A and B are shown apart, each in its own frame.
Chain A
Amino acid sequence: MLEIKNVYKTFNAGTVNEKVALNGLNLTLEDGDFCTVIGGNGAGKSTMLNAVAGVWPVDMGKIMIDGKDVTRLSEHQRAKYIGRVFQDPMMGTAATMGIDENLALAARRGSSRTLRSGITKKEHEEYYELLKTLDLGLEERMTSKVGLLSGGQRQAVTLLMATLKKPQLLLLDEHTAALDPKTAAKVLALSDKIVHENHLTTLMITHNMKDAIKYGNRLIMMYEGHIIYDVRGEEKASLQVKDLLARFEQVSDSEFANDRMLLS
């Protein structure tokens, strides 16, 4: 479903701030893979997701989604294939627009926008039912501005928006990191439910190793811009946090021992 082939990306090339963010990155996701991504700060996790989403062009390499080469497509063109939830709850929604209007925007992802109505009566009814499934009471305040919602509520709405029109690929960039633990757990469980119900191919970055092990059928660990560990199926299911830590120490001379990844 997703193929990342030998991708390189350097920021601020030629300056003192030069940073090789992706260094010969290779990754192939099968249809329906739910892959969690871990790695220390600056390992290139978010950079990988941004490269796939097309936030900026990569220096070298190729990115294919469902057999189509998207390397040269711009961010909004790739949106046709990709649903995204960001780390910052503010980033995924339009604060000054209603919940219903935000969903309507997402429903039109990938199709050309015309002078037809921006949100129809029929959609209203659909969104009512959809919001009901969140069990947050948002269906009763559909026309409220999203800016009035809490961080967790906004992430839940963003999740719906990312998956309202079934994407070929779902990118979750530490989407629960800014939430308190209880809310984070709820949003994570919701993500898991949506991914499974829709059989979505998913990349999910997390700093929580327990979550990385608990969710998905595959786990990759990144270090210095490429993947150093890739485990799936049975083997992944039997992973322990201490195994991951051992793995880290092995490749990075225990550099990670001090990293905030240990927080879990």
Chain B
Amino acid sequence: MTRLALLLSTLVLALFIAALVVGPADIGIYQSLKALFVDDEGPMTLVMREVRLPRALLAVMIGGSLGLAGAAMQGYLRNPLADPGLIGVSGSAALAAVLAIQTGLAASFAFGLPLSALAGALIGVFLVLVLAGPRGSSLTLILAGIAISALAGAFTSLVLNLSPNPFAANEIVFWMMGSLADKSMTHVWVALPLIVLGALMLATMARGLDALTLGEDAAEAMGIGLRRIRLTLIFGTAAVVGASTAVAGAIGFVGLVVPHLLRPFVGARPSRLLWASAFGGAAMLLAADIAVRAILPARDLKLGVVTALVGAPLFLHLIYLTRREGL
């Protein structure tokens, strides 16, 4: 338990430092870390503080958010296939973000973009939960998710194709795949408040989720308000996923892979899985972002490509398991 916490936090820290020292500009490890802390008035500090630091911070924040949201959703729905990307929450957040950018709402005030994405994500979670029902089977959940994802994706493409800006259409890829390239500290400050708020909300669900493993009646008997849990889940997930998607696009599979990998180590207790998945998600996204920069530095490979390459086979494996168990 504490060993796992120690291990995961060391991993995140190590990857965070690696993310800071890996990059297309040729700067030594010692030099780059020194430039980060001591302002040399030159380009090196600029690169470290304005290019690499925000990128690494965002990877931690967004990866953590997605891992946490995935674990919370899977705990609440008691369904290992739930993932904010897969069930269309990220997609609807991306649609709302695109609308905010195209209508100029995003430019009108600082938090216009993340708040719109939050609204989009809220609608997404809400629709999926309504369509799939409170104890929805895997099948209805995934079907509802696919429908919402496809719809949101189609509208996103439509809006970007109609834009008078010739670059907008190319951005369909960004919104569907996600990327952390060329982000600045502004993006960090814009996303941070909602991510912290959402993460705190999801963290309060820990006890409720543990109780829910005994069944809903037992949970109610223990004094857990199911309505409140449900609302916390909806708002918490929408806040973290909305803010993440607003700055980095829809990055899939993190919320699916991480809880699945960590579940055996936490004794299947959803409360422990929550924080473990937050750490795990941060580590996964940091690693993916390092991979993106190390493999094809000049090609702006999208993050979602890497996470999907890891996540999709696992998803197929999960479906296979589900079928075999006859659920």
Q: Do A and B come from one complex?
A: no
Residues of B within 8 A of A (CB): none
